[in-house]
Amino acid sequence: MQWNDIVQESSALVKNKEKYQFRLGELVYIAYQERGPSVFQKMADEIEETEGIKISHRTLRNKKWVYEKTKDLGLPPDITYRVLQVISGTPNPMVWAKLITKHGYSGPEVVHLIREEKGYKKKVYVCYSCGTQNTL
């Protein structure tokens, strides 16, 4: 297999992973609107029964929650699902969305600002081989 083919297929897989999570949240949200809170367990059971793929009802609930909190924010489609999760967990997601859409911040920059606002301390990791320090 050629290098370009490997990179292209890998990129497509990553892209699809990010999109499927948001789309799954949308589908769960629609089902929730139509069928109510019992939909999470029922959907998880049906997916396992029909496809043989096990997914937790809590995962479905989380996907719906993220979708619900971010669907109207106008965020660009290349924002990762992890960034959407972090933005969803803030009291006012629109503030963070505006930093991305109006001021050109990247997703990781916004996540860093949110972590700072919540009081998370930076962690320092030291490479045992060479002693280089990295902060997260």
What residue numbers bound the domain in which 102 lies? 72-136
**Tally of domains in the chain:** 2
Q: Please, which residues have CB within 8 angstroms of residue 118's CB and are 6 or more apart in sequence?
A: none
Whether residues 45 and 107 fall in one domain? no
Q: Tell me: do 63 and 99 sit in the same domain.
A: no
pLDDT category at 106 given cuts 50, 70, 90 is very high
Given a cut of 80, is residue 109 above it in pLDDT? yes
Number of helical (H) and strand (E) elements in the chain, helices listed first: 6, 2
Q: Are residues 86 and 53 in the same domain?
A: no
Q: Is the dihedral of CA 128, 130, 135, 136 positive or negative?
A: negative
Based on the domain organization, do 86 and 47 belong to the same domain? no
Pair (10, 43) in one structural domain: yes
Which pLDDT does position 19 carry in this prediction?
Answer: 80
| Domain shared by 77 and 22, yes or no | no
Same domain, 66 and 12: yes
Model pTM score: 0.77
Q: Which two tokens stand for residue 14?
A: 């990553």
